[in-house]
Amino acid sequence: MSIDMAQFHQVFFEESFEGLETMESGLLNLDKGDVDEEEINSIFRAAHSIKGGSGTFGFTNVAEFTHIMETLLDEMRDGRRTITDESLEALLHSVDCLRDMLSAVRDDTEVDEEKVASSRKELEVILSEETAASEPSGSPATSESVEVSSVEAEVAAKQLGWHIVFTPHANLLQTGNDVVRILRELDELGTLAAEADFDNLPNFDALDAENLYISWDLKLTGDITIEQLDDVFLWVDGDCDLAIMPIMDKTPVVAATTTESAPAEAEKTPEVEAAVEAPKPAAKKAAPKKSAAKKPAASASSIRVGIDKVDDLINMVGELVITQSMLGMLGEDFDMSRVDKLVDGLAQLERHTRELQESVMQIRMLPISFTFSRFPRLVHDLSSKMGKKIEFKMSGENTEVDKTVMEKIGDPLVHLVRNSCDHGIEMPEDRLATGKEEHGTVELEAYHKGGNIVIEIRDDGKGLDASKLLEKGIEKGLVTPGQKLSDSQIYDLIFMPGFSTAAAITDVSGRGVGMDVVRKNIQALGGVVEITSELGVGTTITIRLPLTLAILDGQTVAVGDEVYIIPLMSIIESIQVDPSMINLVAGKGETFKLRNEYLPIVRLYETFGVPSVSLNELTEGLLVVVEGDGRKCGLFVDDLLGQQQVVIKSLEANYRRMEGVSGATILGDGSVALIIDIPSLMRLANKH
């Protein structure tokens, strides 16, 4: 029987990336000095799972790197090491490095060995600090010692072997395992020194011959990999407590700078001289290989579904089977006296189909916490980088949204949160000067409202200065001098290409690239983004998105013999045209006046080349006022047919890409209706 390892790899990577999220959020919640036992244990378990899975699938470099992290975490949870800012930052860097390593292994691309080596050294230096601190500090310097005050030195750590604390559970012998066999296998790997601990041995009258009461402290020296140790203890996994730590030989290595007596000292210690003069391997200096040329391996996308959702789906299928059976029996011997039962059966079929549709859609719904989980780390890094004190709050993480929407909203949210930290929150001294607390607050909230998901990004920073934004807009030619704009229209200038309020260009912001892309990405999802702000108080950015991209609430409209779907979210209102409202503007075609605003008219029958029953007379049809890309227009149609939910089918996948159309759907009578893409339709109409 052949085994498809790809499916196991996929599960491993999914679980590993989830474990990394757990580790990152846990590390951000840890307070230096104090050990939260529950938090540190969850971080340790995540690292241990990644290490075990990596070793099982032969990802040796990942397993070895994770083992060093695990060693540091183990010392923290046992109380042997206090939690410091340095150790937390090193572990956070290691999480980033481990994420890159796993991504490279998954996509079959090159690992950045230089980054891995740097992160590994950072961990090893922290692990070596305890040993260095335990050295006698008051011993007098001899004539053969190098003065530390004038010599830069580092510790060259070499692994000699492994220190293993093996504590079998009392019932280990009852599982068929033999400790002697385990010790014998370890002895075959290298040189083993074993010390038994009998502290847990009960009195003779309380002994149970089938139980094990002894633990072992083992020191195994030799060139042995962690995978070899994992193989030995594989069969007792879950039946023992196991701690594996590297035994390091730390030798001081003199760096380039010495005192005047250094040459003489180097003569007395030739091994140090060799360490200084020996050139580093070229591989260490070489830049990491570029992996862009190699195409990442394709991987199937998957989601985890709660068993309750699967049960609901199975129940609905069962109801459908019953309804189908009932209708089948009616069809076998049907006469007009049974019409009422047929009508009832069809109504029941419709109800079950709708419930089945909702159940299937629920399977694709995932908590938005999968997207929100990246932001505590993002804000933590940005606040450290910019010297600001920022408290980050999240709420509504369990709000569910379609998987596709969630995947595509991540990057826009990153831009918005970064802008809140950079442009919104002031420096601590500036906040204190204005009477605020030195800690600024950035909040991220998600909730359902009116069939949509609403995401808000709030900050209590300096807010937006509408007058300065207007000046900037005039300076860049986006606003005509003297033009009257509301505050919301002025705030919308931020989403214009090339618009930026940053005084200087940094690696965080200031190039005018980002906010225009944010708006386009959100609109591509069928959503809208709005800004409200109060100078000196703060800013709120609100995003409204559909819960799913698979089903659309739409308005069906008739143009001649054709039926089109207009997304309800894009519709402002529908009106009958008064001839006095129509104007012809040179170079801009037809416009109509709606509450002191002139909007262009788009005749759908002209744009799509279909005959209209309204005989080209605007007064005989209807105008549907729609908005897209921040612009409004009136779509001229023959009639409004009704509102309904439609299932979106990809036109590009089944036919070809068409400008002005985002997809298609199949109506109840079996005919196909095109779904209109409002921004694309406006661009198409301007070409005519």
H, E, C per residue of 438-481: CCEEEEEEEEEECCEEEEEEEECCCCCCHHHHHHHHHHCCCCCC
Give yes or no for a contact between 675 and 665, defined as CB atoms under 8 angstroms apart: yes
What are φ and ψ of residue 99, in 5° steps?
-65, -40
Which residues in the chain come in under a pLDDT of 70? 1-7, 32-35, 129-158, 249-302, 450-451, 498, 500-514, 585-588, 612-616, 629-630, 687-688
Copy the structure tokens of residue 527.
């959503």
Determine the pLDDT at residue 557.
Answer: 92
Determine the pLDDT at residue 5.
Answer: 61
The DSSP letter of residue 247 is: E
Long-range contacts of 620-624 (CB under 8 A, 24+ apart): 621/577, 622/574, 622/575, 622/576, 622/577, 623/574, 623/575, 623/576, 623/577, 623/592, 624/555, 624/557, 624/566, 624/571, 624/573, 624/574
CA distances 574 to 18, 552, 561, 571, 604, Å, are: 48, 19, 20, 8, 15
Determine the pLDDT at residue 1.
Answer: 38
| 213-229: pLDDT as tens digits | 888 889 998 888 887 88
**Residue corresponding to tokens 């709660």:** 306
What is the maximum alpha-carbon separation in the chain? 116
Angle subtended by helix axes 5-29 and 375-386, to nearest 10: 50
CA end-to-end span of the chain: 63
Radius of gyration of the chain from its Cα atoms, rounded to whole angstroms: 34
Q: Distance between CA 637 and CA 563 in Å, rounded?
A: 10
- DSSP helix/strand/coil, 184: helix
Give yes or no for a contact between 218 and 163, defined as CB atoms under 8 angstroms apart: yes
Active site residues: 48, 70, 419
Which residues have C-beta within 8 Å of that of residue 611, sequence separation ≥ 6? 560, 561, 605
Q: Distance between CA 684 and CA 657 in Å, rounded?
A: 13
- At residue 352, what is the residue type? H
Q: Distance between CA 34 and CA 77 in Å, rounded?
A: 10
Q: Distance between CA 643 and CA 556 in Å, rounded?
A: 6
Q: Distance between CA 475 and CA 469 in Å, rounded?
A: 10
Determine the pLDDT at residue 59.
Answer: 86
**Residue corresponding to tokens 């993480």:** 397
The DSSP letter of residue 298 is: P
Q: Report which of 526, 630, 639, 620 is spatially closest to residue 574, judged by C-alpha positions.
A: 639
| 424-456: pLDDT as tens digits | 899 999 999 999 999 999 999 999 886 678 999
Q: Distance between CA 152 and CA 138 in Å, rounded?
A: 20
Give yes or no for a contact between 640 and 571, defined as CB atoms under 8 angstroms apart: no
